[in-house]
Amino acid sequence: MIPPPHAPAFLAAHGWGDAQILPLAGDASFRRYFRIVDGDRQAVLMDAPPPHEDPRPFIAVAEFLCEQGLTAPTILARDLERGLLLIDDFGDVRLRETVDEAPDTEAEHYAGVTDLLVHLHARAPMDGLPVHGLDQWLDEVMLFSDWYCPAFDIEVDRAAFRAAWAEVLTPVEHDGLPRVTVLRDYHAENIMLVPGKDGITHYGLLDFQDALVGHPAYDLASVLEDARRDVSPAVETAMLARYMQATGQDIENAYWALAAQRNTRILGVFVRLWKRDNKPHYKSFQPRMWGLLERDLAHPALVPVRQWFDANVPASKRAEAWL
């Protein structure tokens, strides 16, 4: 991975002229990341090239999260015209690998990231964020009918699909719970374990630039029904109960409904990444996504959507199609 040509001058202008630029990672977007090493100093260079990317939302949300007492990267330098940010380096210890290598720590760490949400949701949502509500939920699930179904020659009535989801999600929209800052991509590969910090500040947050104002159950479902690692059902149940006890809010029906909504959307997104963006490795996540969705659909609140799936998507075109 080659750094952008203007990176050396940007770094030199901000006191990192002698630093090494080492490839770090990319993601499902056009963003790329590089580790900047200068002696015992380290930072991360985010390359978010315009017009595809705009780093300003990342900056705004990072600053908001830090103001709320959470751990998000400090912005060390910026060049918005070229889409370059120099930010804190949280190191290499992610929640994903930590828990996979030491499964006995799963409950402890997921309690931490659940408590982080309790803390964030006790505060007013960030100003100026887009709304994530019923209209958006319904639009997002259509990615399944528009990308997944054509890939398997499944002909569906889009209006009936949307109507089934509307029946499930309308009560969630009107449940009266206060809306919160939704990080949207809150999962084990976007949470770092930051040395020298404890409690909820031990968990460093990344990839939150698409934050929204939405339902408090959404990010909890995102982290507990992770597309990239299997969270044990016992931990999922315990953390849902932990959140409800800490907040005094009954989010159970909303949790299963929004988990199903999110997992249905992701099934469509991963096909789009494969077909349109030539990123076939996302196919490997689909069996897990089906396992999560099947579990969600078993909840009584999901009956209309479960009936739609039973009538339209045979088992041969669900998880087993990807094995």
**206-255: pLDDT as tens digits:** 999 999 999 999 999 999 999 999 999 999 999 999 999 999 999 999 99
Q: What is the mean pLDDT of the chain?
A: 96
Give the fold, CATH level 3, of 7-87.
Answer: Phosphorylase Kinase; domain 1 (3.30.200)
| Residue whose pair of structure tokens reads 């009954």 in the numeric block | 250
Give the lowest-confidence range in 21-30, 33-42, 77-86, 236-245: 21-30
Classify burial at 240, counting beta carbons within 10 Å of its beta carbon; exposed 0-12, middle 13-18, buried 19 or more. Answer: buried
**SS3 per-residue string spanning the chain:** CCCCCCHHHHHHHCCCCCCEEEEEEECCCCCEEEEEEECCEEEEEEECCCCCCCCHHHHHHHHHHHHCCCECCCEEEEECCCCEEEECCCCCCEHHHHHHHCHHHHHHHHHHHHHHHHHHHCCCCCCCCCECCHHHHHHHHHHHHHHHHHHCCCCCCHHHHHHHHHHHHHHHHCCCCCCEEECCCCCHHHEEECCCCCHHHHEEECCCCCCEEECCHHHHHHHHCCCCCCCCHHHHHHHHHHHHHHHCCCCHHHHHHHHHHHHHHHHHHHHHHHHCCCCHHHHHHHHHHHHHHHHHHCCHHHHHHHHHHHHHCCHHHCHHHHC
**Confidence class of residue 26 from pLDDT cuts 50, 70 and 90?**
low
How many angstroms separate the CA atoms of 183 and 65, rounded?
10
The two structure tokens encoding residue 233: 């059902």
**95-322 matches 7-87 in CATH topology:** no
- Whether this model's pTM surpasses 0.75: yes
Confidence of residue 147 (pLDDT cuts 50, 70, 90): very high
Does residue 28 register a pLDDT over 60?
A: no
Span 46-52, average pLDDT? 91
Q: Report the C-alpha gap between 266 and 269 in whole angstroms.
A: 5
- What percentage of the chain carries pLDDT values higher than 70? 99
Residue 29 clears pLDDT 80, i.e. is over it: no
pLDDT digits (tens, 9 = 90+) for 263-295: 999 999 999 999 999 999 999 999 999 999 999
Rg (CA), the chain: 20
Q: Is the pLDDT of residue 257 over 90?
A: yes
> Tell me, what's the pLDDT at 31?
87
Per mean pLDDT, which range of 18-32, 60-74, 110-124, 296-310 is the poorest?
18-32
Label residue 194 by pLDDT band (50, 70, 90): very high
Residues 6+ apart with CB under 8 A from 314: none
- Indicate the domain borders of the chain: 7-87, 95-322
Domain range 95-322, CATH architecture: Alpha-Beta Complex (3.90)
What's the pLDDT at 1?
Answer: 82
pLDDT tens track for 165-180: 999 999 999 999 999 9
pLDDT of residue 27: 63
